[in-house]
Structure 1
């Protein structure tokens, strides 16, 4: 679990994913949530439960994490994390209920996850990406301390999408 000022980031377990999928109308989610991405993540975690969240080799819990608003315990989003080809880097993604956009929750969640990940001895870089024209998401990454690295044109679902890549590195000891 990761704590923020207004959010608790709770590791999504297989048992909780199954419960949430079975009772999506329980009031556990913010209005307009879960998104298609969050529903897909719930299904994946429910279908492929990890035996534990300690991945070994100095890699502790890498999520996914549910974003739980402290004021009412409602799930307002999700943060995912994945290893990259570079063993010292991870890529994060985030998804917040549209009803909660513009309130700083994505920035709070991403900042907390970045701090958590950069405290892991084996992680030296945290990366994220967003469509170039998604200015709000790019601003979230910048507020979390990430810096633009490059733009890249990729093919996604049959169309070209230009992505902005961001990253933050843990300072190397001198």
Structure 2
């Protein structure tokens, strides 16, 4: 896993199977298809319209994130878009990690592979002190990825929603990883 070819301040990251390149406007059709899929959005929001996705893409392409080496990456497997990963700033030394993958990429370890690479970039290159993540308690797949990449469960938070998704009453599953924990895990191999 190595950073290469900087574009807009954020590197292209590679793994054995993935190329994670900075998200761009040319990814809009794939983002719209991803966010329109009810199965993909089951634990996030109701499926989104193309216009909603275009609006959200403006925020995802925030140049301030790029300047810090953070933001969103489009994931490609053998040149084919499979989803995206994020590492976005939440405060000094703090970022949130996340991912959204196409169903054809589920269950093959790609979410974990991409997330580990993004974490290595965040701690090793950017110098983050802490990374956080959250998902619905009922989203067992994302919770599994969080555990596999080393995030530690920190609690459950119950929130009020205007239009809650099924399972929202169980709450949001919160997790984090500190720089010290990441360094210790790397030392263990």
Q: Same fold (TM over 0.5)?
A: yes
* Among candidates 15, 19, 41, match of residue 4 of structure 1: 15
Match of 1:123 in 2: 128
Which runs of no fewer than 5 residues in structure 2 stay unpaired?
1-11, 42-47, 184-189
Structure having the larger proportion of residues in helix: 2
Does the residue aligned with 1:164 lie in a helix, a strand or coil? strand
Residue 46 of structure 1: how far off its partner (Å): 5.0
Structure 1 residue aligned with 2:73: 65
Superposition CA RMSD, Å:
2.9
Number of matched residues?
Answer: 155
Q: How far is 1:45 from its partner?
A: 3.2
State how far apart, in whole Å, the 2-side matches of 1:118 and 1:3 are: 16
* Helix, strand or coil at the partner of 1:158: coil
Is residue 80 of structure 2 the alignment partner of residue 80 of structure 1? no
Q: Answer whether contact 1:152 1:164 (CA < 8 A) is retained.
A: yes
Q: TM-score, normalised by structure 2?
A: 0.69
- Which structure 1 residue ranges, 5 or more long, are not aligned? none
Report Cα offsets for 1:75-125 as digits up to 9, x if no partner.
0111123221x3111012210111221111111111111111112454111
Q: Structure 2 CA distance, aligned partners of 1:50 and 1:147?
A: 29
In the alignment, what sits opposite 1:170? 179
TM-score for the superposition, normalised by structure 1: 0.75
Instruction: Point out which structure has higher relative CO (alpha carbons under 8 A, 6+ apart).
Output: 1
Q: What does residue range 1-174 of structure 1 map to in structure 2 within 5 Å? A: 1-14=12-25, 16-17=26-27, 20-21=28-29, 33-36=33-36, 40=52, 43-45=55-57, 50=62, 54-55=66-67, 59-60=68-69, 62-69=70-77, 71=78, 73-84=79-90, 86-159=91-164, 160-161=168-169, 162-171=171-180
